[in-house]
Amino acid sequence: MMRCCFITLGCRVNQYESDAMAELLTQAGFEITENPAEADVCIVNTCTVTNIADRKSRQMLSKAHKLNPNAKLIAAGCFAQRSPEAAAKLEGVYAVLGSADKNRVVELVKSIAEGRENEPKSEKCNCVEKELCDCCGGMKKFEQPEKSECSGNAAGGAKILVRDVMHEHEFEEMSAVHEGRTRAYLKIQDGCNMFCTYCAIPYARGGLRSRSIESVRAEAEKLNNEGFSEVVLTGIHLMSYGRDLRSGTDIRDAVRCFDGLNNIKRIRFGSLEPHMMTDEIIAELADNKRICRQFHLSLQSGSDTVLERMRRGYTSGQYFELCQKLRRAFGGETAVTTDIIAGFPGETEEEHLETIEFMRKVGFAKVHIFPYSRRSGTKADAMPGQLSNAEKSRRAGELIAVGRESEHEYLEQYVGKTVNVLIEKCVDNVSYGCTDTYAAVRINSAITPNTFADVKIKYIKEDMNGELYLL
């Protein structure tokens, strides 16, 4: 039996899609292995959110080939979609699979198993210029970094199954299997119509596409029957869910799909868009006791002038008020986590300091800091005032330090309190889990995974990777 291995980079959506592709291959009779060295086919699901993500994608493809040069190597995902020729030219790459055709992984692996070296046929990418719909806003044309079209096999012989995603309107139905986990991801949406000036993801993922309510309900029922205690709703632009479905559909409809599914005790959201969190949505979610009190609201900057240049669609004042509304609705322990970009083009020292001040004002539970990364074809790439890498690193370091202080201050409120923890694993009589606010907890006793335990917190500790947790 042919064995397939998945290596996944990037976001939760990528992880979900890797799990879904693995399930498709399992249903087709192929074996899934976690060891690339013993695989006949290795699929690397790539990321392109930053230049570093591109580099890691290339490095992982090269590493996989060196580890097992006899395996057929498939580059899938966002880097493969946005830079198919670059992926195809890497040593050992057998095929490049775009972000809109992950269902074709079975067809591709079957062709390998049957020795049909010239099948399946490659798609023409037409990636030199991509015309966008009027609804997308912003740019009308986008040039890929590579100037040649993707038309069939690359020079090195790799098959390219990549097509233009900018006019995709149908959600690609895929259902994942999550073995041996307490938390399951459920992808309900793909694509983005926002076109923030720094972001290349809309070009890798295409426009908004929502999963049907019926399909969301069906997978929710499956996860409930499989015994998962927590489900994370994921998507590229999650709060846009339903805007392309029947009038009035939104994220609340996806949450209602869990009504009556009593095994699932927690519903968590992936990244949420601040300007779409209405009072009505907050009120209904607050009435649902299964909603986790952790909200990842991507900020990107605490400076209003930078937010405007980023085309984020909200001000720092509006963002802060949303945080206050969530804490009033869900309670004071509500965790707000975020992403911030350091050193956006033209960012002055004053604007940088505004972000630091705003971080302290909000009191984030956790902050992910990213130095600004130039992405070819985006508006920010052509903006004046590009900062040096050294300056971006300096500013990122300062933001990381402030974020660390904020995280520690947030966790201090739990010391001496009893919290409810979902146990995720137990190793050497030490149990690991999370609160509904996504605070990591370690317990010095053996507790069965996928069960809940009330734990009194004694103090905060730091692991060998620098991650804070409660004990």
Domain map of the chain by residue range? Answer: 3-161, 168-292, 299-412, 418-470
Across the chain, mean pLDDT equals 90
The fold for domain 168-292 equals Transcription Regulator spoIIAA (3.30.750)
| Residue 365 structure tokens | 């539970």
**Angle in degrees, CA 282, 283, 287, rounded to 5:** 115
pLDDT for 332-376, tens place per residue? Answer: 899 999 999 999 999 999 999 999 999 999 999 999 999 999 999
Task: Tell me what the mean pLDDT of segment 168-196 comes to.
Answer: 88
Question: 13: helix, coil or strand?
Answer: helix
Least confident of 77-86, 91-100, 121-130, 444-453: 121-130
Angle between helical axes of 105-113 and 12-27 (0-180°, round to 10) = 50
Q: CA-CA distance, 332 to 45, in Å (whole number)?
A: 38
Which pTM value belongs to this model? Answer: 0.87
Nearby residues of 445 by Cβ (< 8 Å), 6 or more positions away: 429, 430, 431
Residue predicted with more confidence, 67 or 126: 67
Question: So what's the pLDDT on residue 122?
Answer: 42
What is the pLDDT averaged over residues 291-303? 98
Tell the CATH topology of 3-161.
Answer: Rossmann fold (3.40.50)
Q: What percent of the chain has pLDDT over 70?
A: 91
Radius of gyration of the chain (CA): 22
The hierarchical CATH code for the domain 299-412 is: 3.30.750.200
- How far apart are the C-alpha atoms of 3 and 38, rounded to whole Å? 8
pLDDT of residue 119: 45
Low-confidence winner among 147-151, 267-271, 312-316 (lowest mean pLDDT) = 147-151
- Residue type, position 263, single letter: N
Ramachandran category for residue 334: left, alpha or beta (phi over 0 → left; psi -120 to 50 → alpha): beta
The beta-strand segments (E) located in 57-112 are 72-77, 93-97
Give residue 153's pLDDT band: very low, low, confident or very high (50, 70, 90).
low
Residue 58, pLDDT score: 97
Residue 202: alpha-carbon gap to chain centroid: 13
Please compute the mean of the pLDDT values over residues 225-232 and round it to a whole number: 96
The predicted pLDDT at position 145 comes to 35
Q: What distances in angstroms separate CA 122 from CA 30, 88, 157, one per listed residue?
A: 23, 12, 11
Rounded Cα distance, 346 and 306, in Å: 8
Query: Which segment, 152-166, 406-420, 456-470, is predicted with the most confidence on average?
Result: 406-420
Reported for 113-122, long-range contacts at CB under 8 A and 24+ positions apart, including other chains, are 113/2, 113/30, 120/159, 120/161, 121/152, 122/150, 122/151, 122/152, 122/153, 122/159, 122/160, 122/161
pLDDT in tens, 16-54: 999 999 999 999 999 999 999 999 999 999 999 999 999
Show the tokens assigned to 294. Answer: 């952790």
Instruction: With a cut of 80, say whether residue 129 has pLDDT above it.
Output: no
In what helix (H) or strand (E) does residue 430 lie, and over which residues does it extend?
strand 430-434
Q: What is the DSSP letter of 143?
A: B
Answer yes or no: same fold for 3-161 and 168-292. no
Give the pLDDT of residue 215. 96
